[in-house]
Homo-oligomer: A and B are copies of this chain.
Amino acid sequence: MLSRRETSLLRALTTRGGRRRSEFCRCEGVRAVRELLDKRPDMVEFVAATARGFAALGCEPPNSRRLDETEFAALSDTVTNQGVLALARVPEERDELPSGDFILVLDRIGDPGNFGTMARTLLAVGGSDLWITKGTVDPWSDKAIRSGMGAQFALNIRRFDDLGAMTVAAGKYGFSRIFYADPHQGENCFRCADLYERSLIIIGGEANGSSELPPGTRSVRIPMPGNYESLNAAQAATVLLIEHTRREQTE
């Protein structure tokens, strides 16, 4: 059973207004809750699940709440739910030396599905630093967390007002190369030798590209011999992230 306060908090977190006033986020789905429990157990307030949900999760964490299917369905934000959700605190941003070779920057990414895909792919290639500008979707919205399957909890996500403020923060740690994944022009990404040498790699929005790029930004382009403009933001990010792995493993 959930208290009235807990229920209304979980409901409020599905709305933008409810999130803005809150230090909490909701994390729904088996894989997202697993990632949360694994990476940031200290952020968990409670897990609420049905019998089916606990079975799928494979454990019943401390401070869990059992709900019946009807109670859960009323709380769930999905049509076919997996019977598991968690209330978690939003991790604090850490102003610290980025632990990887590069920082992935999402600028004006408007789709929580794309955001989630890119967060997961960053984690998959062993990356850890995801920085975003104001125009990008809320990483801690229930949709973004579901799409990211909780990858958020394993990354250091930092938010900045604009790319200018971001480059100042990055420069402090010696991350001073700035690259923009440009669909139309720029250096061939496969021949750009210093692409991952303490750099920021900016992926612009699906609809309108990036916001104003800082002076000194270099454009990199994924070569497309078919001469057919095609890759969307998430695909472009995938290519640039996997290229880092490829170089690590073959060069």
Contacts and interface: CB of A to CB of B under 8 A. Distances in A.
Contacts of A245: 223-225
**Chain A interface residue count: which class?**
20 to 34
Interface stretch (A9-17, A122-130, A157-165, A209-217): A122-130
A222 interface: yes
B125 A224 contact: yes
Interface stretch (A55-63, A90-98, A226-234): A226-234
Contacts of A191: 249-250
A225 B244 CA distance: 10
A121 B230 contact: yes
B228 A151 contact: yes
A168 interface: no
Interface of A: 117, 120-121, 123-127, 151, 154, 188, 190-191, 222-226, 228-232, 234-235, 238-239, 242-243, 245-246, 248-250
